[in-house]
Amino acid sequence: MPFMKGPAPIRRTIKYLEAGRLCLKDQLKILTVNYNIHGQSHQGASPFIRAFYDTGDHMLIDIDGRSKDEIYEHLIRVVGKDRETLMAENIAKEKKDNPANFGVGCDRHCICEIPGQIPCPGTCPLPNHMRGKFRRANKD
């Protein structure tokens, strides 16, 4: 399959994963899915999902006899982040990522901190051609 070669599959996978509703908790490190692909359904272990946490603990989730939608909803409820956490993270990400935001509670206090902008008149006096009283005086 030619579309599975090069960097494109990784980009497609990340885009696919970000589009989903399942966002795993921060303390969850590894999620493995085990199922029987060879032999009869009664041979071998029943399908399960194992979640490993950063504390060394693990959790087993039995998925035998469930549909894919039931499994997905159960994973969202058990190992996924709740909606309040996701909304708070999105607000913080949006606020932090936007370089146009400045003021109290943002990365920059004033627009003069951005490279290429004119410094604040309180710290460094502006040139006379940029000050209003000198412009109006020259027009007369």
pLDDT tens, residue by residue, 28-61 = 999 999 988 777 766 777 899 999 999 999 999 9
H or E element that contains 59: strand 58-62
| 84 plus 134 within the same structural domain | no
β-bridge mates for residue 66, sequence order? none
Same domain, 64 and 87: yes
Tell me, what's the pLDDT at 50?
96
71 and 7 belong to one structural domain? yes
Query: What mean pLDDT do residues 126-135 have?
Result: 84
- Kindly state whether residues 27 and 88 are assigned to the same domain: yes
Pair (70, 41) in one structural domain: yes
Res. 69 pLDDT band, cuts 50 70 90 = very high
- Asked whether the beta carbons of 28 and 58 are under 8 A apart, the reply is no
| 85 and 137 together in one domain | no
Q: What is the pLDDT of residues 71-124, one digit of tens each?
A: 999 999 999 999 999 999 888 877 666 777 788 877 788 888 888 888 888 788
Q: How many domains does one find in the chain?
A: 2
Read off the pTM: 0.58
What range defines the domain where residue 111 resides?
100-140
